[in-house]
Amino acid sequence: MLISMLERKELVEEIMYWKEKRNAVLLAHNYQLPEIQDIADVLGDSLHLARATTEVDADVIVFCGVHFMAETSAILNPNKKVLLPDINAGCSLADSITVEQLREWKKEHPNATVVSYVNTSADVKAESDYCCTSSNAVEVVNAIPEDQEILFLPDMFLGSFVQRQTGRENMHIWMGECHVHAGIEPQHIDTVTNNHPNADLLVHPECGCSTSMIYLSGEGELPEEKTHILSTGRMLDYSKQSSANEFIVATETGIIHQMQKQNPDKSFYAANPEAVCPFMKMITLEKVLQSLKEDTHVISVPKDTAEKARTAIDRMVAIG
């Protein structure tokens, strides 16, 4: 539903009033709607938000992201109220593996160390030895002894990237994917690079094109100095620090709002303009306000599950 500038201003003012009244903090992921990003107290990728959630001084955390992120926040903050403004904000990647499937996989590899991408349910994290994000997945795997067998889940593109970067031959990868990132394909890159031949190419390792981009860069068919496989947080850092003026961005399009905001004199092009996560876009200003006023929706994790998952999450936060 479209709202006028006046209505938006009034909504934001009311959100700020209720945020102060509740002693609440707003955390938002880089893929959220622009108006949500603009009112966030903390904005970042999964690793940054996981670290920030343990440092905020508030009674209430309103998590503007998706369900697994709010679960992670609840696990790290058992004495704080964690709210998710839309309970239906899920994740196709997190849904690509269940705890039952992981338990069966572990039976096939009883001595393996389990590394789970943070895009997983609390139940899956509780069955894992380490969590990771795209920011520190390579560092997490490198922290495990080289002769130790690893089960990496659930994203096959990130897993393949990590395996290439670490050279780990004893690493098994779950065949899951984020449907949004998987939908960014080599032909999309071909089209946009032809239109903007001088642009730097920033590719998220979850993308369906990441494998071919690394190969083509190594073969010299893409300029190696202009092709960068980066997490969302590192994309933001790179675009600020780089002397380049044009960037092709191969990840969920929501990040471009922040990139443009931080770099008003630079140009950013979505590798695939249709790479939009419907779950990330579910949270609106109206829902944030309702969440603050009515405690919708409180996210909690059973104590035994939370305690098991906490170990894997703490290891993630400490590495990289």
Residue positions in the annotated binding site for iminosuccinate?
29, 46, 117-119, 134, 204-206, 232
Annotate 177-194 with DSSP letters as a single string: --HHHHT--HHHHHHHHH
Annotated binding site: 29, 46, 91, 117-119, 134, 178, 204-206, 232, 277
Among 292, 239, 294, 233, residue whose Cα is nearest residue 266: 239
Rounded Cα distance, 299 and 301, in Å: 7
**CA–CA distances in Å: residue 219 to residues 198, 209, 216:** 19, 15, 5
Binding residues for [4Fe-4S] cluster: 91, 178, 277
Tokens encoding 159:
């897993």
CA-CA distance, 267 to 263, in Å (whole number)? 8
Angle at 73 between CA 252 and CA 166, to 5 degrees: 60
Query: Can you tell me the distance from the alpha carbon of 258 to that of 89, in angstroms, rounded to the nearest whole number?
Result: 21
Length of the chain equals 320
- CB of 47 within 8 A of CB of 316? yes
User: Can you read off the two tokens belonging to residue 122?
Assistant: 């609390």
The owner of tokens 């849904």 is 95
Instruction: Identify any residues that bridge with 229 across adjacent strands, giving them in sequence order.
Output: 203
Pairing of strands 60-64, 81-83: parallel
Nearest to 29 by CA among 76, 103, 91, 92: 91
Q: Is 38 helix (H, G, I), strand (E, B) or coil?
A: coil
